[in-house]
Amino acid sequence: MPNTSKKMIAEQVCFRLYGGYPDTAAPVQYEDVYKAAEQKANALFKLKQFDTTLPSGETIPENTMIATYEDVAVTTFGVGKSKSTLPVTPISLPKNAGIFLVYDPERPDNPFIPVQRGQGAILKADTLLNDLMGLVWYEPKNNVLIYSKDLTMLGVSSVTMELCVLDFSEYGETDILPIPSDMEERLVTELYEMFSGVTPENGIVNNITTAEQKTE
């Protein structure tokens, strides 16, 4: 994996746009590229899951898609249940596969069982399976995971989540990004094409309309 960082991606895009480093008046700055690169990378990750991983017969997302979030708080919810708030919104994948693993950090080899929204109520109707043999399951609801047991009563105050997402806020400008080498050129090219139509203002001030304030 090459040493690619947010700043290197932004520099490549700006060099294509301006032929050098952008000045303070440039309409596209590094910070603009950072957020756009995050959005593009997550879209490409999702596309790769559908056009490469799933057609090959595999369902597990590639390791470069998975980010680990530790010390996610668990709080009591209702009677005999608990919940956690997702630290970031993952990529939308079938069957909530964007939430890859959730587990007690002291027992990483025993992840909690994922169920689809509404399936928890169906399990309760089955007296044989409703407890899943004592295992803990979780059900997603918007940005919250609801656990079948009160984990705080079991001594679990926080969990570790592995989510399918590339969250740029977790990386500094020069930190190495987990982006596959075959994706870099496409990412830079699409960002350049995205920003190539952005034009600076011509300096004309009009208090009535913004028309003709852009240079051609």
The pLDDT tens digits for 112-131 are: 989 888 676 667 766 666 66
Is residue 78 classed exposed, middle or buried when 0-12, 13-18 and 19+ CB atoms within 10 A define those classes?
exposed
Confidence of residue 1 (pLDDT cuts 50, 70, 90): very low
DSSP states of 128-157: TTTTGGG--EEEEETTEEEESS-GGGGT--
Query: Does the CA dihedral 174-177-180-182 come out positive or negative?
Result: negative
DSSP three-state, residue 84: strand
- In a 13 Å sphere around the CA of 69, the CA atoms on its Cβ side amount to 23
**Structure pTM?**
0.77
The kind and range of the H/E element at 192 are helix 181-195
Spatial separation of the C-alpha atoms in residues 191 and 194, rounded to whole Å? 5
The per-residue pLDDT for range 35-88, each reduced to its tens digit, is 999 999 999 888 888 888 888 888 888 888 899 999 999 999 988 899 999 999
Pairing of strands 113-114, 137-141: parallel
What is the phi/psi pair of residue 31, to 5°? -60, -35
Sheet containing 81-85: which strands, arranged edge to edge?
75-77, 81-85, 144-147, 137-141, 113-114
- Domain residue spans in the chain? 6-59+167-195, 65-164
